[in-house]
Chains A and B, each alone.
Chain A
Amino acid sequence: MDQFTLNLIVIGASFALYFGIAFWARAGSTAEFYAAGQGVPPVMNGMATAADWMSAASFISMAGLIAFGGYNNSVFLMGWTGGYVLLALLLAPYLRKFGKFTVPEFVGDRFYSTTARMVAVICLLVISITYVIGQMVGVGVTFARFLEVSTTTGLLIGSAVVFAYAVFGGMKGITYTQVAQYIVLIIAYTIPAIFISLNLTGHFLPQLGFIGGYAPTGGETYFLDKLDQVVTDLGFTAYTADTTNMLNMFLVTMSLMIGTAGLPHVIIRFFTVPKVSDARISAGWALVFIALLYTVAPAVGSMARLNITTTFWPGAVDGETFSKPALSIAEIDSNPDLAWIRNWEKTGLLAFSDKNGDGMIQYFNEPKPVTDANAALAAASKALADAAADADRAPLEAAVAEATAARDAALGAAMLGGQSLAAQGIVGNELTTVNNDIMVLANPEIAALPGWVIALVAAGGLAAALSTAAGLLLAISSAISHDLIKGALNPNISEKGELLAARISMAFAIVLATWLGLNPPGFAAQVVALAFGLAAATIFPVLMMGIFSTRVGKEGAIAGMIVGLLSTSIYIFMYLGWFFVPGTNWLPNTPDAHWFGISPAAFGPIGAILNIATAYIVSMMSKAPPQDVQDLIQSIRVPKGAGKATAH
């Protein structure tokens, strides 16, 4: 059986499982549609939250981001887990005690104002829609890769699958499907990780292998030291090298942490458990299941990076990096263990070109002067080749000669392995593309694991993408049907009518998300940074103040949310373009142009501080919340008396 057929069988079986679960757990009431009837046990809710939280980006891209970003990209590891501490301690138990269905509903009741609720709906929609764009793009790319179809077809198939189980199942169907999706994705992630760790370090647990000895040299050298040495030999920054901007690293981590705690689709997970104490422990279980992947991710990334590097420099396995010649093309085509190189070359995630024609692929960090000189030479040569037949060729030929001399000087000055590039006949880096995603996707093949593991990774990537998209779509649809329609437009809507409205909003949200996924504004990755920044600057502070302050009233909350929303989006748009339209940015997105070196992705905590400061100042100048709100605050602060949620 070929790999593609095997992929289809495993993916097909996993989809059949999801549909079966969705049918079994379909929602019959609004309580089941919005909050799964508040009957989800904490461990299962933790698994569902973990699947909801870990997107295609966590599953496929994060290990590669860490592999190539090294210590600097620890921000993702700490930021996307530390937020759960904030959720467990500061938000989840109180919001569960409040006992309603949506985040804007809490804001509306606590700040006794439909206006506050509508501002919260706007913040929620901006956050969730920007976040879902990235997920839909991820769904399309993932389906396209594993089903060998175009990205557009992949996106449409993915939308149809989400539509089928999310519209009918609601939160209940989504939750139980996510439990199954979590199991698929975590098995798919950890099996290759265990094999690669055993291979490189002899440790069964990747977390121990990561800090253990490097097995091919008898374990005397630490794995991390070996990796640092090999990549620095090739001119890259060491994996464990210190950050160059501590303030920015601090703020990005903070932004991701409080952004995580402020994401509506994560918060509503804690409305589904039976009790307040379950909400606390459920956040713990969610983090257990997230940590299973997140503590393995740096091991996967760094080990896959060493594997790829030593594949191209075979001498580095048990000796000096340059003790053997670089990998030859003849070897790539004849050694069955290296068939993955050609396989992934087809997808464009890996690309190489034998620039100097020596039959070998030299992989290293090309110094910028060499890159620039090569580009200048190519431009000069092209000008000469394109010149009209009757043109004066002499100046063009002189330009080529000058560019050649400059390039040769650059090659003479650039060093690799103690010798200049010129002396070794190298003209540039020949492994031209190594996509981040390959660190996870190609891992089973690099470690020569059986075909079913490769198929499982495909199913795991799809599970990660689908589960996150479904959770976001639910948050969007409940904001529309429960907060907008029932909360403001038609408060007298019947239970049946609201359930129908919820399903229609869900269908509408899927169509909108699909359309945005097909026409994404700017880069999806930047859009996700906006979602975290806005969640950090709007939803998280307003919920915190709602619980921990008895003084902040509606005027303060509304002003605070607006200030947080505007300051953060304006700061991001200033550098990334207005509404992410390329070319409309006022300032270049470079560290020098950033205000105090704070990157757009790091602005969330500043927005949150502005939000809180505004809310307190405005509240001091306006009336304190009335007595019934004071009673509400006292009631959410104690667990006793938490019952089933009521739909008013």
Chain B
Amino acid sequence: MADKTSANAYWAANIRVITISMIIWFACSFGLGILLRPALSGISVGGADLGFWFAQNGSIFVFLILIFVYAKVMNGIDRAHGVEE
């Protein structure tokens, strides 16, 4: 690692990615799957309403995409800050 400033910049970039990811994580499961289900009952995904589908299937797919995108973005940030292995 070059110096303290670049380490701080790397950590700040990491925290930003984590924060955005956690918002998506919360929104699809707790948001769409639980809290907003009654409000969104009019929208349907095939035979299910949106909230129900997110609770039983959809949020798992979002979690998956989220982890792979996170891993890819972080690899890029690692390289940009010269801290990759």
User: Least Cβ distance of A204 to chain B in Å?
Assistant: 15
Interchain CB contact under 8 A, B29 and A78: yes
Question: At the interface, is chain B mostly helix, strand, loop or mixed?
Answer: helix
A288 part of interface (Cβ distance < 8 Å): yes
Residues of B within 8 A of A528 (CB): none
A291 adjacent to B60 (CB under 8 Å): yes
**Cα of A77 to Cα of B61 in the assembled complex, Å:** 11
Complex contact B18–A90 (CB within 8 A): yes
Contact across chains for A246 and B35 when beta carbons are under 8 A apart: yes
- In the complex, whether B48 has a CB less than 8 A from a CB of chain A is yes
Q: Which of A85, A213, A249, A288 contacts B21 (CB 8 A)?
A: A85
Interface size class of B (residues with CB under 8 A): 35 or more
Question: Which residue on chain A has the smallest CB distance to residue B66?
Answer: A85
Q: B36-53 CB contact bits vs A (8 Å, 1 = yes)?
A: 011000000111110011
Contacting residues of chain B (1-44) with chain A, CB-CB under 8 angstroms: 1, 7, 10-11, 14, 18, 21-22, 25, 29-30, 33-35, 37-38
- Is A298 a contact partner of B67 (Cβ separation < 8 A)? no
Q: Does A283 contact B (CB under 8 A)?
A: yes
**CB < 8 Å: which of B21, B30, B53, B75 contacts A250?**
B30
- Taking a contact as CB atoms under 8 Å apart, the answer to whether A89 and B70 are in contact is yes
A287: which B residues are within 8 A, CB to CB?
Answer: 60, 63-64, 67
A242 and B18 contacting across the interface, CB-CB below 8 Å:
no
Please give the distance in Å from A266's CB to the nearest CB on chain B: 14
Give A153 to B52 CA distance when docked, in angstroms.
42
Contact B7 A298 (CB under 8 A): no
Contacts of B53 in A (CB 8 A): 211
Contact of A637 with B by CB under 8 A = yes
Answer whether residue A593 sits at the interface, using C-beta atoms and an 8 A cutoff. no
- Closest approach, in angstroms, between the C-beta of A252 and any C-beta of chain B? 10
CB-based contact A211/B29 at 8 Å? no
Query: CB-defined interface of A120-153 with B at 8 Å, one 1/0 digit per residue?
Result: 0000000000000000000000000000000000
- Shortest C-beta distance, A63 to chain B (Å), equals 12
A77–B75 Cα distance when bound, in Å, is 29
Chain B nearest CB from A124 CB (Å) reads 25
Interface centre among B1, B11, B34, B67 (most CB of A within 10 A): B67
**A 182-225 to B, binary, CB cutoff 8 A, 1 in contact else 0:** 00000000000000000000000001101111000000001111
Question: A276-B85, A638-B10 provided; 5 other pairs, C-beta below 8 A?
Answer: A74-B33, A77-B60, A82-B59, A90-B18, A225-B47
